[in-house]
Amino acid sequence: MAASPNTLSERFHTGARDMVGRVGAAARSVSELEGWRRFAIAFGAGSLSVLAMAPFFFWPVLFATLPVLVWLIDGSRPRGEDASSLPALPPRREAALRRQSISRAAAAGWWFGFGYFLFGLFWIGEAFLVEADKFAWLLPFAVTLMPAGLALFTGLATATARLMWPVGAARILVLALTLSSCEWLRGHVLTGFPWNVLGYALTYPLPLMQAVALIGIYGLTLFTVFIFASPLVIAADARDGGGRKWAATRGLAVALVALLLLFGFGFWRLSTAAVPMHEGASVRIVQASVPQRDKWDPTKQASIFQDQLRLSRFDPLGRQDDLAGVTHLVWPEAAMPFLPLEHPEALAAIGELLPDGTQLITGALRLEESGQADPSAPRRGFNSLMVFDEDGALTTLYDKIHLVPFGEYLPFQSTLESLGLEQLTRWRGGFSIGPSPRPVLSIPGLSPVAGLICYEAIFPAAVVQGAQRPELLINLTNDGWFGNTTGPNQHFHQARVRAVEEGLPLIRAANNGISAVINPYGTVIVELGLNKRGVIDAEVPAALPPSVYARWGDWTFVGLAFCFIATAIGLTFRGRN
C-alpha cells in the first residue's frame, strides 16, 4: 500500500533534520579540534582539494573540504574564550584574544594550503632528477619549501577572513573574497605563480569553462568558494527545529542554482560556437618526445635535430609528404638543443626542409648579437620563439619576458653562482628578459600572433599586452622536465583556459605533450597526448571578437568582488536585525 503524502513529507523532514543534526555535529567537532588534530584535518582537507584540479576534475570533493576550512576558522577563538558566553573582557585581554584568534585562523589556512600545494605541485621534484647527480639533493627542499611559501597566501586569506568574520552565510562570502583576493596576489607577487588557482575547479567540463570569458579565473574563484562551501555550512548553522526542516535543502539549492547558471551560460555560449577557419593556413605540430636527460647531451644534439627534421616530413598517418600543403611547421620550446643562429649548417638544413611559402615556428636559444659597447662582457642569452622562412632565414623573433625562477634564472644570480648554485637549465648567468610589453608578431600567412613560451600561458590578463590585440596564441613549451605526472596535464588545461578568457585560438607545441590546436571556446580540435611521439595537422581557427574579460581584464573580478561585499553586508545586517 502506498504511503500517504503526509507520511512521505514527515519522513522527508525527519530525515532532513537528522542529516542536518549530523552535519552540525561534524561542524562542532571540527571547530573544537585542538593541537595537531586541528592542523592534520586542515592539511588533509587541502590535500584532497587537489582532486578538483586537472587531470582528475573531481570537483565535488570541494563540497566536503571547503566547509572544513570554514569550521576551522569558526573554531579559531581559543576554547573557553567564546565572547558570546563571557562577560565583557578588559580591552587588553580582548585584543590579545583577537590576535590569538587571527593567528589560529592563519595557521589553519596555512596547513590547508600546504596540503593543497604539496600534492598539487609534487611534480616539480621530477625536474631535480633529470640531472640527479647535481640537483637531487635539492629535491626535498623544492617539493616542501615552495608549497610552504605558497601556503602563506592561504594563511593570509583565512587570517583576513577571521578579522572580519561575521555570523551566518555572510562568512562564506567573506572567505570567498579573501581567498580569491589572495589567489590574485599569488599570481602577481614576486613575479607571480598562479598555478592551480582554485577557480580552475569550475572549468571542467567545457560548458563550465565558458564563464572565464566573462569574469576570468579569479572571478570564478569567488563562485567556487561560495558554491562548494554553502550546502554543508548553511545546513550546520541551523539551530531550531523549524530551521532544520529546510536547512538541508537551502544551502544545496543555492549551490545548485549557481552551478546551473554557470552551466546554462556555457551551453548557450557553445550553442553559438561556429568558428570559421583562417583561410589558407595549415599547421603541422611536431612532438618528438625527447627525454629530458638526452636533450642537452652534446653527443646527441645532432641526432635530435635530425630527428626533428625527419619527423616533419611525415603526416600523422606516417606517410612522407615533405610538408606538402603545410603552411606553418611548429616545433616546441628549445627544439634545437644548441644555438641555431650560431650554426649556418642548421639554418641550411631548415631551408632545405621547408617548401616554398612554408614557415618554421620554433623555440630556440640565442645569444645577443656581438658588437655591443663592451666586447669583453658576456653576451646575454635568451629563450626565444623564432620564425624561419624557406631559405632558412630568421624573419621573426620573440624573447621570453616571464622567466621561471630557479629554472631559467636565480634571484641574486651572481651571488648565488659564486656560492656554486645553478638554475636547472645550467645557463651561466641565467637567461635575460626580452622587451616588454609582449610584442604582437607578424608571421606570413597567419593573423597577428602573441608568442607564449612555457609557463607564460598560465598568467591571466597577461598573455595579451600592449595596445594591439593579437588574433592567435602560439604556446611553445617543454614539459619533459616533469615526466609522466599531473604537471603537464595541469599546464595544458591552464593554457586552454587562456584561449577562452581571451577569445583567441591557441596552437600549442610541447616536446613530450600535450600538443594541440584549440579554438576560442576551448574545444580541442586535434591533440597529441602526453609522451606520444608523432605529428598532428590542423587548420587554424579564427579569433572571436574580444570577450568581456579580454576588454576589462581583472576589473571584472573587482566588480564581482564588490557585489559579494554588498551581499555580505546585507546578510550581516539582516542577521543582526
Phi, psi of 251 (to 5 degrees): -65, -40
Active-site pick, 400, 408, 501, 502: 400
CA 242 to chain centre: 43
Could you tell me which residues come within 8 angstroms of residue 304 by beta carbon, excluding any fewer than 6 positions away? 288, 290, 294, 295, 336, 337
Closest by CA to 393, choosing from 449, 366, 354, 363, is: 354
CA 355-357-358 angle, to 5 degrees, is 60
Backbone φ, ψ for residue 27 (5° rounding): -60, -45
* 338 CB neighbour count, 10 Å cutoff: 17
Q: Residue 474: in which H helix or E strand, if any?
A: strand 472-477
Between the alpha carbon of residue 494 and those of residues 204, 209, 478, the distances in Å are 11, 11, 15
Q: Are strands 534-541 and 277-287 parallel, antiparallel or unpaired?
A: antiparallel
Sign, CA torsion 80/82/86/90: positive
Is 400 known to be catalytic?
Answer: yes
- Is 368 annotated as catalytic? no
- For helices 170-186 and 212-237, angle between their N-to-C axes, nearest 10 degrees: 140
> Among 505, 471, 508, 470, which residue's Cα sits nearest to residue 491?
508
Q: Please check whether residue 102 is in contact with residue 162, taking contact to mean a CB–CB distance below 8 angstroms.
A: yes
Give which of 173, 182, 120, 126 is closest to 147, Cα–Cα: 120
Q: In Å, how far from its chain's centre is CA 392?
A: 36
How many whole angstroms separate alpha carbon 274 and alpha carbon 519?
10
In angstroms, the Cα distances linking 334 to 317, 386, 463 are 26, 10, 20
Which three cell numbers, joined as nine digits, stand for 549? Answer: 574579460
333: left (phi over 0), alpha (psi -120 to 50) or beta: beta
Q: Which of 333, 456, 501, 502 is catalytic?
A: 333
Give the DSSP per-residue string, 346-395.
HHHHHHHHSPTT-EEEEEEEEE--S--S-TTSPPPEEEEEEEE-TTS-EE
What is the DSSP code string of 512-527? Answer: SS-EEEE-TTS-EEEE
Among residues 182, 408, 454, 471, the one annotated as catalytic is 454
Distance of alpha carbon 355 from alpha carbon 353, whole angstroms:
7
Report the SS3 class of residue 427: coil
Positive or negative, the CA dihedral 268, 500, 559, 54 is positive
Catalytic residues: 333, 400, 454
